[in-house]
Amino acid sequence: MSIETCLIEVSGIVQGIGYRPFVYSLATSIGIKGTVQNLGDAGVRIIAVGTRDKVNLFIEKLKSNKPKLCVYDSFIVKWNVKQSTLPQKFEIIKSSNEKLGAGFSYLPPDIAICDQCVNELLHSNDIRRKDYPFNSCVDCGPRFTVIDKLPYDRPNTVMRDFPFCDECLNDYLSPDDRRFHAQTTCCHYCGPKYLLYDKNGDELPYSSHSEIVKFVAQQIEEGKIVAIKGIGGTHIACSTKNDKVLLRLREVKGKRKYKPFAIMAKDIESILSFAHVNEKEKELLESFRRPIVLLDKSSDYDLSEWVSPKLHNIGVMLPYAGVHYMLFEYLKDSTIVMTSANPSNYPMFIENDEIISKLPYVDFFLLHNRTIYQRCDDSVLRINNIDNKYSIKFLRRSRGWVPEPLIAHVDIGNKTLLAVGGEMHLIPSLMKGNRIIPTQYIGTVTLMETLDFMLNAIKHFTDLYQVKIDSIAYDLHPQYMTSTSINEISDFFGANSYTAFQHHKAHIASVALEHQIDPEEEILGLAIDGTGYGDDKSIWGGEIFGGKIYSLERVAHNERFYLPGGDLAVKYPLRTLLSFLVKNYTDDEIFNILPQISLQHTSEESIRFVLAQLRSKKLPSTFITSSTGRFLDAVSFFLNLCAEQTFEGEPAIKLESHAYNVKEKEPCIDFQWKGDELNLSNIFPQINEYKKSFSTHAIASAVQKALGRSYGLRLNEYAEERGVDKVLISGGVSFNQIITKNIVEEINTKRISVFFNEKVSPGDGGISVGQLYLLSLRY
């Protein structure tokens, strides 16, 4: 039979996942000769020489037996390619900066340490691997956080600072070794090392990693606070059962009065001792992504209340780096707090000197000498059960997912678009062709340091993929730093234009893109959140839209009410509550029904001043809102649950937790639509009356259920009237399972499909994806 030469070019996730070793092993097992080569756009080129039957078998198995993380976006086969000389064997050859020119490739995310590497780390007799926290192989280890350019080869990563020892080089070059062409592989003799420092920054002498980690475990159990540098940033670690150290940590971290801390547990069995875990949550916890998952506390919950105060759930993750597994070998407890070391709204600390100098409250520092090229915070999500289906809700999409793309159903060709999002929980996104790549989590951009982090993170992607930004999408709000700086951002990237999009329409557009809904199709959208600048220059947050995705019109909304003091009303929900009460009560009546917490942060004189302001109706338009989040804050305050917002969304979050698993009889709460406006203020007299005979738990549950039903009924009516069969729901309030579940229950789902965000956050972390979709429809 004749020998033929075949060129195979693949794009997608094909670098950084052991693809070349897989191709090599497959080719040699079949008897194919030729080469495999990484390319400069993260694609891979294969030359396969053999009989047509063998090459066809090779192609078939490339598709059917590919590595588990491999994703093909394009798989191009060209036969009868001319070669100057026929190869005598199959080999992995030097990477090229050349690009495929078709498709769009991308790297895998950082991958949790695999079981084989954990076994070597903890149980083997291999002196190079045992107790070595940076143990990795072709199937695991950091990717996104260590690479500075493509193709994905060791010299293009921070591992170039750690030349192979002879034995690691031999592993790297051995086809039968699972470290064959594993770019982050290393050992005790040639790889990065952890060092231990005291609170003064003085290095403490220890002869081995095991001694250092054992000492750190002892200090955590004795009530000390330890900073641990990891894969994409730095964690603060302490006991989950020691109230004293947790209260100390809350005090020294500043804005952490009640904000929950994430924790790390040794294994699933440990988690089951204090929380419920369903099958989907277990799957995600144990996946290579290793996110923080919000889990419902069980009746056996035995951790300190100060880990997750006054909430029904707790954020938990499993170990994902070697140092984590080593810690649990020495800890007596099976859980530790693992919260971000940086102050709120600041980028994560990744430089050792900065970590030591900016964390004066830390007792010990466990720091390594491997550069973190890109910060990447832990991902956070929860699983909602809606209509008997598990639905992923991202609070933060970052480590474990970045830089995986979303696939759009529109293609902008060779253009490259950027969307920067809003202001809070920022995750910018880039689009090329029909791929959208969200960056890592940036945070809330109100500081120059965070804005610089955002710009550098975006630049890393443009450098990595060697693209130039053509146009930028941003939020309509005129006071967001991303809006006030849009000229500078545009100049920084050399963009030709920029366009503002309304916040809540971008929320709905993000759902449309995720579910690839035809832009010419009429839909209904419900956007429910805390804040967003509206087309009428007031603050929206409870809106129903109708129309095509690129021309949505506001068809209904919540009752509009004042936020006296603007952001002060967000911080102190009493102010928002007063805005509702003045519509139904006199001042003296209001003072008679205000809850006990009313004077915690203000005086009677101040309350009367706010009431006078509200009755004068002379507040600026920017203090007018239809926000669902602020309404829920007011209910939370009226039920004596939360007097001050110490973290974003706290009053509404506590309201949901207060209603968790209510078994008692609930009152009948009645929301009324007045035309196209949902009346909110008439709820408070009902709550006041029901306080006499129902618990606050029952009232909290009833209010949220009734709110959900009222939205669902109106959406169902509009869908019938307009002949629409798709409803899209987004915004931060859609995290609330009580509300969303009741929305869906009132919609005729036999005829109408309901869509939520599942691949990006329904909060402001998903805004940029919607902005990109809207911008792309103009091309």
Distance CA 165, CA 157 (A): 17
Beta strands at 313-317 and 523-528: parallel, antiparallel or unpaired: unpaired
**Burial class of residue 496 in the structure, from the number of CB atoms within 10 Å of its CB (0-12 exposed, 13-18 middle, 19+ buried):** exposed
Whether 45 is catalytic: no
Distance CA 19, CA 42 (A): 11
Q: How many residues does the chain have?
A: 779
* Residue carrying structure tokens 């070595």: 132
* Cβ–Cβ under 8 Å, residues 24 and 84: no
Beta strands at 90-92 and 194-198: parallel, antiparallel or unpaired: unpaired
Distance CA 204, CA 21 (A): 41
CA torsion sign, 365 to 371 to 377 to 378? negative
| Strand arrangement of the beta sheet that strand 335-340 belongs to | 203-204, 194-198, 364-368, 226-229, 234-239, 335-340, 263-265, 313-317, 292-296, 380-386, 389-396
Residue 528 CA, chain-centre distance (Å), reads 19
Whether 496 is catalytic: no
For helices 574-581 and 628-638, angle between their N-to-C axes, nearest 10 degrees: 90
Which residue among 20, 289, 560, 630 is the active-site one? 20
Question: Which of 271, 265, 360, 262 is closest to 307 using CA atoms?
Answer: 262
Which residue among 38, 342, 736, 742 is the active-site one? 38
Distance CA 430, CA 437 (A): 5
* Cβ–Cβ under 8 Å, residues 422 and 482: yes
* Cβ–Cβ under 8 Å, residues 570 and 630: yes
* Cβ–Cβ under 8 Å, residues 108 and 16: yes
Residues annotated as catalytic are 20, 38
